[in-house]
Structure 1
Amino acid sequence: MPKRAKYIVVDFNDLVSVPFIESKFVESPDEILNAFSRAIKEILQERFPEYARKIEHDIRARIANFPAERSLRQINSEVITKMTSVSGMVVRASEVKPLAKELTYKCLDKHTSQFTLLDGMSLDKAVKCQSPK
């Protein structure tokens, strides 16, 4: 029976032994990580079908020993879509709350009024219905 894990750790040193996968991983890590996830799902389907159905959308591959390590201060737009390793210690964690960029209100007389957000939570127009006249 599985240990209730939702991920498998893949050592980057094992990827280096297959040059095609290593180069593809450096260029487009999402593609390789998705392929790993699909492979893990297939194996789980064969061995533990009920458990595989239960965690179907949560299965992931994690990469260990990735050489490109950066500090949090070194993370910038250059590393978007690239694989990188971040060193550090989590001292506090909080829930990530989505912030609306645009709000649409529907007035009682069925026409819509649209307001966009500026900085933070302040609206650029008053929140009241505007007649379509």
Structure 2
Amino acid sequence: MTAENNRRAWMSLLAKAPADRLTALWYSYGASPSFHWLRAPEIGASMVRGRLGGTGAPFNFGEMTLTRCALQLESGEVGHGYVQGRDKDKAQIAALVDALMQGPEASEVTSTILKPLELEMTAAKTVRAEKAAATKVDFFTMVRGEDT
């Protein structure tokens, strides 16, 4: 797996993580590195695109609110945060984690923040899938006597 794919994976995880859980894990990490803003957190909208059936022609589905920011650590690493909604603190934490993942603290950040988030989100997804599977109805066709 390339570094770009790894970054894509942790950025996705940070964007999808519940804000309260990400914040709690960030404070349990304990570090608060010095940084300066390249782009302070700002709230805006982005066009969401969709495809019918997952393979059809793309179309504009609608807009969604997002918050983004960019920062640079004093050690030089640049981090970006893009999160759904209007949560400036979550965007800042996502950007800080992104920047730290590009430096020597990457393994510690992974074990303290990213792995617990990934495990919790996978468990929640499994629970949702089990609940959905419990409501599944299997339809079947019985052969009637006159249909033979």
TM-score in same-fold range (> 0.5): no
- Normalised by the length of structure 1, the TM-score is 0.24
- Normalised by the length of structure 2, the TM-score is 0.22
Structure showing the higher helix proportion among its residues? 2
Structure showing the higher strand proportion among its residues? 2
Q: Which structure has the bigger radius of gyration?
A: 1
